[in-house]
Amino acid sequence: MANSVELGHNTVVKLTPDMLAPKGEDRRTRELVARSILENGPSSAATLSVRLGLTPAGIRRHLDLLVADGILQARQPQSSVVRGRGRPSKVFLMSDEGREKFEHSYDDLAVAALKFMSAQLGEHMVQAFAESRAEDIERKATIALAKKPSKNEALAVFLTEQGYAATIHTKPMGEELCQHHCPIAHVAAEFPQLCEAETEALSRVLGTHVQRLATIAHGDGVCTTFIPTPATSTSKNRKVRA
């Protein structure tokens, strides 16, 4: 296959692998880009290019189409994370419409599996699964928080790496942990044991009682958890990025 095409008037356009990709593969790549943002949280084109091993031009083309389709939203990064000169790179995050399209197929299978488990083995097995998952989160988070000066911020970084797009907000009586995305939201809507076990795991990791104020699974825009500990910084609405 030729590596370039002549458009006339001696204009030759070099064809890249992204441009030559068949339509089916193109759709799969676009889904891969969207799935990466869904699972890893807001990402820039440069980050996605490295993560997925695609050319920057190819990534930007997919991102533009996903934004046009309403699957993704593009936002400017906060000034605190702008690096170097020039215009800051946009970050892309999943829209509500995008979550609906990309989550349900996986979630339906998970819900069906848990319902089958509950019917065949008893509801206590669903609880056991929720606790096992929470223990895994606790184990990984404990390692991530080890020797970190601020456990709350370290936890937000860890959760962001797990796809929860977490931030910390300073409040008069402590801090709020906000998770702007939940990879298991639709499953947790059917099985609230998952949220409850996860909250208990966060409490154990931080070594203090925490209170879940809102959850995406219950229809709220953000999962919000109050951590009643003394604030370690006067900075408000700090964006925590992995």
pLDDT at 90: 86
pLDDT at 7: 38
Q: What is the 3-state secondary structure (H, E, C) of the chain?
A: CCCEEEEECCEEEECCHHHHCCHHHHHHHHHHHHHHHHHHCCEEHHHHHHHHCCCHHHHHHHHHHHHHCCCEEEECCCHHHCCCCCCCCCEEEECHHHHHHHHHHHHHHHHHHHHHHHHHHCHHHHHHHHHHHHHHHHHHHHHHHCCCCCHHHHHHHHHHHCCCCEEEEEECCEEEEEECCCCCHHHHHHCCHHHHHHHHHHHHHHCCCCEEEECHHHCCCCEEEEECCCCCCCCCCECCCC
Would residue 213 count as lying in a domain?
A: yes
Would residue 153 count as lying in a domain?
A: yes
Pick the last residue of a domain from 94, 115, 150: 94
* pLDDT tens digits in sequence order for the chain, 242 residues long: 444 434 344 444 343 444 434 456 688 888 889 888 877 778 899 999 999 999 999 999 999 999 998 889 898 765 444 445 555 678 898 887 777 666 555 677 888 999 999 999 999 999 999 999 999 999 999 999 998 999 999 999 999 888 888 899 998 889 999 998 888 888 898 999 999 999 999 999 999 999 999 998 888 878 999 999 654 444 444 555 54
pLDDT at 97: 77
Q: Do 217 and 131 belong to one domain? A: yes
pLDDT at 120: 93
Pick the last residue of a domain from 94, 110, 134: 94
Q: Domain containing 65: what range?
A: 4-94
- Please give the model's pTM, rounded to 2 decimal places: 0.57
pLDDT at 230: 54
Q: Do 151 and 216 belong to one domain? A: yes
